[in-house]
Amino acid sequence: SAVISQKPSRDICQRGTSLTIQCQVDSQVTMMFWYRQQPGQSLTLIATANQGSEATYESGFVIDKFPISRPNLTFSTLTVSNMSPEDSSIYLCSVGEYEQFFGPGTRLTVL
Amino acid sequence: QQQVKQSPQSLIVQKGGISIINCAYENTAFDYFPWYQQFPGKGPALLIAIRPDVSEKKEGRFTISFNKSAKQFSLHIMDSQPGDSATYFCAAEDTGRRALTFGSGTRLQVQP
């Protein structure tokens, strides 16, 4: 299984600011995904980030709010832009297909 | 079409008992069905998974039963232990996007 790290592990941010979350994998992977887990809730897919192409966003998520970069096969970033308290969630990256592994998550609190 | 329905929402089992969590799906494009275990403050960990061409898969104390015609699958935890206390999510992966659609989760508490 892949070893996935995320930075930061947690952050407290002010309304209107932006935060960039990093996801690093210890091996090259094709498929990488970003999910959101709101407090006490299940996981919802934000977007699929594949190297060399634009990220594909799910309904309800837009690039202006959640821009994603995927510069290579081991790294991706998710930015949460112009944050509001409703963005307070855990953001998780995952990699793989058929066996999908998750990072530890970034716990974001927006005041 | 993309929804995966999971029940029960919470479950309390005595140590040594059997925990059973059920999921149902509609989308026939799903072709891989994993279960994840999540402890507080941690990311989900892949527990066990099954493909629709088999009806059952067992790994240690964990068993997935799969009913393709009914579009249902379940997780059985045999000899449940207090260390199994966590939130369990079923999920389904589709053939096109390879992204996961998650169930709503089951909070399992195993009492000593």
Does B2 have pLDDT greater than 80? no
CB–CB contact B102 A102 (8 Å): no
Across the interface, whether the CB atoms of A99 and B46 are under 8 A apart is answered yes
Window from A37-41, A62-66, B92-96 with minimum mean pLDDT = B92-96
Read off the pLDDT of residues B46-60 as tens digits, 9 standing for 90 and up: 999 999 999 999 999
| pLDDT at site A98 | 82
Give Dmax (Cα) for chain A: 38
The answer to whether the Cβ–Cβ distance between A99 and B100 falls below 8 Å is no
Contact list in A for residue B94 (CB cut-off 8 A) is: none
Decide if A26 contacts A2 (C-beta within 8 A).
yes
CB contact under 8 A, A45 and B42: no
Six-digit token string for A52: 């060399």
Report CA-CA distances (Å) from A98 to A87, A95, A105, B55: 29, 10, 20, 17
Asked whether B93 and B5 are in contact (CB, 8 A), the reply is: no
| Residue B101 pLDDT greater than 60, yes or no | yes
Residue B5 has pLDDT above 70, yes or no: yes
Task: Name the nearest CA neighbour of B43 among A5, A27, A57, A21.
Answer: A5
Residue B42 contacts A, CB cutoff 8 Å: yes
Contact (CB, 8 A) for B102 and B5: no
Check pLDDT > 70 for residue A71.
yes
Please give the residue of chain B at the shortest CA–CA distance from A59. B2
Q: How many other C-beta atoms are found inside a 10 Å radius of the C-beta of residue A75?
A: 15
Structure tokens at A3: 């070893």
